Amino acid sequence: MTLSAYELGSTARRVAAVLRTRGPRTRAELIGLTRLSRPTVSAALADLTVAGLLTEEAGPPTGPAGGRPASVFRLAREAGLAVGIDIGRRHIRVAVADLGHQVLVDHPARLDFDADDDPLPALDRAAAQVDAALGSIGASRADVVGVGLGIPAPVTRSGRIGSPMLLPAWAPLLPEQELNHRLDLPVRVDNDANLGALGEYVWGAGRDCADLVYVKLATGIGAGIVLDGRLYRGSAGTAGEIGHVTLDARGPVCRCGNRGCVELSAGGRALLRHARITHPHLTDLEELVDLALVGDPGCRRLLVDAARQLGFALGGVLNLVNPDRIVIGGELGAATDLLLDPLRRGLADTAMAAAVAAVDVVGAHLGTRAAAFGGVALALDVDLAPAP
């Protein structure tokens, strides 16, 4: 059974919805977020507790003297589970959490085929991996309230691939519909960088930050933008495609059809192509990063130059959005120590000095888990919650 199966009053459901999207909260926080009176919130919490859907735990000490902590309320596992799936070119990652925002399973798997070219087998594998992840904690699909799926391409508000040339094999599909047919569960789909932003906002480097830009550096480059605590998708749903910002209008043609895009100088495909000149047996970005981190001069130079180019593109974002924080993640994000200084120099060359001084550029806390965790957040409807 899940939360929807219980007979609860409208007030209890309203409080439960806030706990689902916002995570564990004190009574005072729930009063502020629901705009209900203290007695009304207390009654709703009592109803949820009697139904076995709520847990209460001590919060951190309050005040400079470490005063008595306020109780924190969290939806229990009995309220249901949320599933996040990240499908990359050569991997599928599945995460499962309860509605109290506790991640229970994080299961990555490598693919022996290219998911960019074979979407249907990838979706089949994803569905099987969901069942395996649920089985590992003694759960089943009946316990799941929703699934969030991330794919490496812009996704429109209608659920279609926003730029078909970026993922042509997926372009004829409605990924949400395809996965729903396999799992018979509610599914929501978004770009993997958007989900990375959500994951870091809820569980990672953006937890205390209302305005942030998350950058996923992998085979391609994408960004997810959180403004005033809400995921910003743009009018068509394709905001954040920083990998296809033009740096050189006379440069080579990109797979998107434009010239001189950031991906052509800083994306994983380009970096691997250049690195294989001296390392012909290099297979993936993880190997490239490992070589750079142990001091290989060619690989280090590739990453440093890529970070500077990315900084140029992010300077425009900084001028337009003025975020508090830029979070660098993805497979190349493992080289944060190499990337941050040249990226900051690129920002300083292209953005307003006040914006550069105000922004904090940091590495992602979740690493390659960010998109799958963001899929969990999507299934929890975190992105639909009113601005705090």
**Stretch 65-75: mean pLDDT:** 78
Q: Average pLDDT of the chain? A: 91
pLDDT score of 126 more than 90: yes
Instruction: State the span(s) of the chain assigned CATH 1.10.10.10.
Output: 3-78
| Tens of pLDDT, residues 103-123 | 999 999 999 999 999 999 999
Measure CA 271 to chain center.
23
pLDDT score of 143 more than 70: yes
Is the domain spanning 81-197 CATH 3.30.420.40? The answer is: yes
* Residue whose C-alpha is closest to residue 310's, from 386, 228, 248, 245: 245
3.40.1350.10, 3.30.420.40, 3.40.50.11540, 3.30.56.10: CATH of 206-364: 3.30.420.40
**What are residue 95's DSSP bridge partners?**
84, 106
- Assign 3-class secondary structure to 315-374: HHHHHHHCCCEEEEECHHHHHHHHHHHHHHHHHHHHCCHHHHHHCEEEECCCHHHHHHHH
pLDDT score of 62 more than 70: no
**Stretch 212-231: mean pLDDT:** 92
Instruction: State the span(s) of the chain assigned CATH 3.30.420.40.
Output: 81-197, 206-364
Q: How far is 355 from 330, CA to CA, in rounded Å?
A: 24
* Residue whose C-alpha is closest to residue 195's, from 20, 326, 370: 370
pLDDT for position 106: 96
Residue 138 · residue 109 · CB < 8 Å = no
pTM metric for this prediction: 0.92
pLDDT for position 165: 81
Token duo for residue 13: 């459901």
**Stretch 243-249: mean pLDDT:** 89
pLDDT score of 345 more than 70: yes
| Tens of pLDDT, residues 265-285 | 999 999 999 999 999 999 889
**Cα dihedral sign for 34, 38, 39, 45?**
positive
pLDDT for position 248: 87
* Residue whose C-alpha is closest to residue 267's, from 239, 245, 287: 245
Q: How far is 260 from 250, CA to CA, in rounded Å?
A: 7
pLDDT for position 206: 93
- Reported CATH class of domain 3-78: mainly alpha
